[in-house]
Amino acid sequence: MLLTKLTLLSVLISLTHAGPVQALSAALPPRQSPSFKNTNGIVIMCTEANWKGECITLSVPTDDTCVQLQAPFLYNVSAIEPAFGTVCWRYTSANCSDICTSPSGCDMIVQFPGIADLKTDNNWDKKIGSLECEPDFNALGL
């Protein structure tokens, strides 16, 4: 044990008397912002509350592309969950054309962990016709 401490001490002394530290390589280039173009997120939807009925796991674009739901999910979703890192806007129209005009904000956003029973969320049960999704930068810490 004493020998180990002495060895460590001699290494530290030699490092402190080795002179100025020299750069081993050129400076690293500045970090580039990650690109989220052409990436996909995951959204799970079920036709019954609490993840029952017919369920689907969709791979959705995260570049605000409108995703029109198809049967049997068109106007038939009772539970929805975007994967962590994805945020989606849900629309009652089939072409993402709803416009929020409420001065207090709208309840169109859905994020992880999702909503197991859309009846409990301002009665969105069986009203979703389309979605637009993007990366959830806050959840991802970006």
Task: Give the tens place of pLDDT for each residue, 29-56.
Answer: 444 444 444 457 899 999 999 999 999 9
The CA R_g of the chain, rounded to the nearest whole Å, is: 26
Domains of the chain by residue range: 40-140
Instruction: Give 17 or 93, the one with higher predicted confidence.
Output: 93
Confidence of residue 122 (pLDDT cuts 50, 70, 90): confident
pLDDT value for 125: 97
Average pLDDT over residues 58-79: 95
Query: Tell me, what's the pLDDT at 138?
Result: 80
Residue 64's pLDDT is 87
Average pLDDT value over all residues in the chain: 78
Supply the CATH classification number for the domain 40-140: 2.60.20.10
pLDDT tens, residue by residue, 125-138: 999 999 999 998 88
Task: Report the pLDDT value the prediction gives residue 102, as an integer from 0 to 100.
Answer: 63
Percent above pLDDT 90 for the chain = 54
The DSSP string of 30-96 is: PPPPPP-TT-EEEEEEEEETTTEEEEEEEEEESSS--EE--TTTTT--SEEEEPTTEEEEEESSTTS
Whether this prediction's pTM lies above 0.85 is answered by no
Phi, psi at residue 140, to the nearest 5°? -80, -5
